[in-house]
Amino acid sequence: MRPEHLGIGDKTFLINRLIKQAPINTLIREFFKNADENAALAPEGKRTVEIMPTLIDGVRKLTFWNTGVGMSAAEMRRATDISSSVNKMMSLDGNFGIGAKVSGLAASPDGIRYRSCKDGEVNEVTIGWDEDEQTYVRYAVLLADGQSETIYDVTSAVTANGTPTDFDWTEVVLFGENASHDTVAEPIGIGMPVDRSFIATSIFRRFVSFSAGVQVRVDVAMTKGGGKEETGRFRQLRTLDEILDRLPRHEDVTDTASGVTVRYIHDPRHEGSSHTYSARANAATGSTTFCALVYRDERYDFRTQKVWSSVAPTFGIPFGSKVLTVEIRLPDDGALPNQYRDALTWRHDKSPLTADQYAYLVRQLMPDWVKDVIRSESPDSADDLNDLQSDLQSLLDELRVPTNVAKRSSEPTLRSVANDAGLAEPEPTTLQSEQEEDQIPGLAPPSKRNEQRASKSRVRLAPEGATASKLSRALERAPEIKILVEAEDIADREMKGRAARFYADVQTLFVNGLYPVVAKMADELANEFSDAEDPDEARGIALQAAQRTLAYRVGKATCFALAKRMLDDWSTEDLERATSPESLSMAADDYRQSLASARKWIKDRVRMASVSALG
């Protein structure tokens, strides 16, 4: 007897749960991908995808239309089943037939209408939620002859509207949540309006390339620029790869060990406008810099604007995230999408895969010209903080905090380095103490054996009183301090109302120079120097002193937190909480402990200024 395939006891329950749990943020990706793949099957020169509004009873409904291979009535029935496709292979690696219908019905329960022209005949079917059946169905319609059908011929109605039937095409219309739902203005749900160019921008961000020869056109009512109140005219949508030659510079650098390629792109604002070079070269969509994983020509873990600015320091970009794009391109066998294709997983254990796991590689492979861009985008600092960092380094040395050097992982792409100090990784030693060796049966314990027996390597004793050098101790380096004084820079790193943010992977401490305690301390100090010859200068020096002492307080708190690494009772989560912006803010609030050192620093500055003036 042959093995029996497992069945499904309650198919309706499974389908309902699958759809209701589906993410709606993949809706645009799924319907566009289906249209793109089908258009690629059309003859060369006729491969087209168009995205437009369709009026249904006076309400705009989002529509995807494409050339390609059409579907007959029988094929449409099969194509509208869950986990079913026509004209493509089912595969976990490929674009299997679950995403579009599932995410589409989650966002558009009132219905998804399919029309397809094949060999001059146009058939139609609409799927959606049925209250009476309490499940998702193909809606039945009553025909003029009294018959009730779920799939029916609409060729005469289509030709009456002037739609051609002399070549194959497919159209999908999203009805949304109800008949009055404008799915062009609110494609992901009622009450969730999006930017006018949301559809075009979503496609531009997700797809690295379109299928060979496919042209994508978006109605002007759904793109940035002119034509807001118009319809029927189209703008061509291009991918970032298609317009790279119009940008100032880009470079691909490949890590031979993992096969991962990092693409660095310089995309600043164009001199002649407020838009980036990529936005000017692609009129259909808004374009901003970003960081993302790229797998099989699609982007995952896409981060842009404030989200990208907030994490960019971890990727070695403390400044310049608004002009630098980073794509981390994975080999074809380097990942696997999850079932809804809104995230990537590792192939071996299906755990989440994110761009953060490659931050070390972005830093390691970074070309010199990218570093030059970062330096050019860094704010000018009038204050030398070397003395503060030297004091913090002395504190770490005194606490004997070791560097947190990670071991190499058996999976190259999982390797994580918490410190980028340039220290070599420890290599396995050839020495092995007698206490660590396995005891051989029949022999006495190691301490009782002949102490003169041969060993793999003779141990050489250091002179009496010798200690390990600072280099060999591999003590932690002090965080690099960067004081931010621009409100935009502070907001980009999610530091508003927070005193500091520590990026452990790159040992960088950003300090909020506009933190309220700074102004309070500066006022108190300025009052003490109110009799200065130049009150404005005194106020400026007092403000600088307040910012410096704030940096030292949060820096010292960070160093003490790093020292907890040596305690077994402190977990990784505990260490992260100890260096969180909230914890550092509490350390920053006690500014009175720093008043004496601030006064001394101000007096030294005033004296130095006087000496300079006399010279």
> Which residues belong to CATH 3.30.565.10 in the chain?
11-237
Residue 613, pLDDT score: 46
**6-17: pLDDT as tens digits:** 878 888 888 888
> Does the pLDDT value for residue 202 go beyond 70?
yes
> Does the pLDDT value for residue 603 go beyond 50?
yes
User: Could you give the CA distance from residue 234 to residue 51 in angstroms, rounded to a whole number?
Assistant: 9
Q: What is the mean pLDDT of the chain?
A: 84
Phi, psi of 31 (to 5 degrees): -70, -35
The conformational region for residue 133 under phi > 0 = left, psi -120 to 50 = alpha, else beta, is alpha
> Does the pLDDT value for residue 434 go beyond 60?
no
Q: Where are the beta strands (DSSP E) in 175-232?
A: 215-219
Q: Which contacts of 539-544 are long-range, i.e. CB under 8 A and separated by 24 or more positions? A: 541/602, 541/605, 541/606, 542/598, 542/602, 543/518, 543/519, 544/382, 544/383
| Residue written as token pair 């797809």 | 207
Identify the DSSP state of 101: H
**251-265: pLDDT as tens digits:** 999 999 999 999 999
CB 96 within 8 A of CB 83: yes
User: Could you give the CA distance from residue 346 to residue 353 in angstroms, rounded to a whole number?
Assistant: 6
Residue 213, pLDDT score: 96
User: Could you give the CA distance from residue 223 to residue 231 in angstroms, rounded to a whole number?
Assistant: 11
**106-120: pLDDT as tens digits:** 899 999 999 999 999
The gap from C-alpha 467 to its chain's centroid, in whole angstroms, comes to 46
Number of CB atoms found within 10 A of residue 556's CB = 15
Number of CB atoms found within 10 A of residue 305's CB = 13
> Does the pLDDT value for residue 183 go beyond 90?
yes
User: Average of pLDDT values for 377-395?
Assistant: 82
Of 140-154, 376-390, 535-549, which range is least confident? 376-390
Nearest to 499 by CA among 450, 463, 552: 552
User: Average of pLDDT values for 260-281?
Assistant: 90
Residue 187, pLDDT score: 94
**496-531: pLDDT as tens digits:** 999 999 999 899 999 999 999 999 999 999 888 777
User: Could you give the CA distance from residue 304 to residue 319 in angstroms, rounded to a whole number?
Assistant: 14
Comparing 613 with 332, the larger pLDDT belongs to 332
CB 174 within 8 A of CB 112: yes
Most confidently modeled range among 165-174, 383-392, 603-612:
165-174
Residue 85, pLDDT score: 64
Residue 422, pLDDT score: 33
User: Average of pLDDT values for 224-232?
Assistant: 84
Comparing 402 with 60, the larger pLDDT belongs to 60
Comparing 410 with 211, the larger pLDDT belongs to 211
Q: What angle is formed at CA 489 by the lines to CA 487 and CA 492, rounded to 5 degrees? A: 105
Of 320-334, 422-436, 559-573, 579-593, which range is least confident? 422-436
Give bridge partners of residue 130 from the DSSP assignment: 135
User: What class is the 241-377 domain?
Assistant: alpha beta
User: Average of pLDDT values for 438-467?
Assistant: 48
User: Average of pLDDT values for 217-221?
Assistant: 95
> Does the pLDDT value for residue 390 go beyond 50?
yes
Is the CATH number of domain 11-237 1.20.1300.10?
Answer: no
**291-311: pLDDT as tens digits:** 999 999 999 999 999 999 999
User: Could you give the CA distance from residue 335 to residue 357 in angstroms, rounded to a whole number?
Assistant: 13
> Which residues belong to CATH 3.30.230 in the chain?
241-377
> Does the pLDDT value for residue 418 go beyond 50?
no
Nearest to 326 by CA among 338, 318, 317: 317
Residue 98, pLDDT score: 58
Residue 274, pLDDT score: 75
Please name the residues in contact with 414: beta carbons below 8 A apart, sequence gap of 6 or more: 346, 357
The gap from C-alpha 76 to its chain's centroid, in whole angstroms, comes to 37
Nearest to 36 by CA among 68, 78, 71, 77: 68
Residue 345, pLDDT score: 95
**466-475: pLDDT as tens digits:** 655 544 445 6
Residue 338, pLDDT score: 87
CB 222 within 8 A of CB 53: yes
Comparing 411 with 356, the larger pLDDT belongs to 356
User: Average of pLDDT values for 333-352?
Assistant: 90
Phi, psi of 328 (to 5 degrees): -105, 105
Letter for the amino acid at 72? Answer: S
CB 267 within 8 A of CB 324: yes
Most confidently modeled range among 151-155, 530-534, 591-595:
151-155
Q: What percent of the chain has pLDDT over 90?
A: 60
Identify the DSSP state of 593: G
User: Could you give the CA distance from residue 591 to residue 545 in angstroms, rounded to a whole number?
Assistant: 11
Residue 100, pLDDT score: 84
CB 299 within 8 A of CB 205: yes
What's the length of the chain?
Answer: 615
Of 19-28, 150-159, 341-350, which range is least confident? 19-28
DSSP-H helix ranges across 453-528: 470-473, 487-492, 516-528
User: Average of pLDDT values for 392-405?
Assistant: 81
> Does the pLDDT value for residue 558 go beyond 90?
yes
Number of CB atoms found within 10 A of residue 528's CB = 14
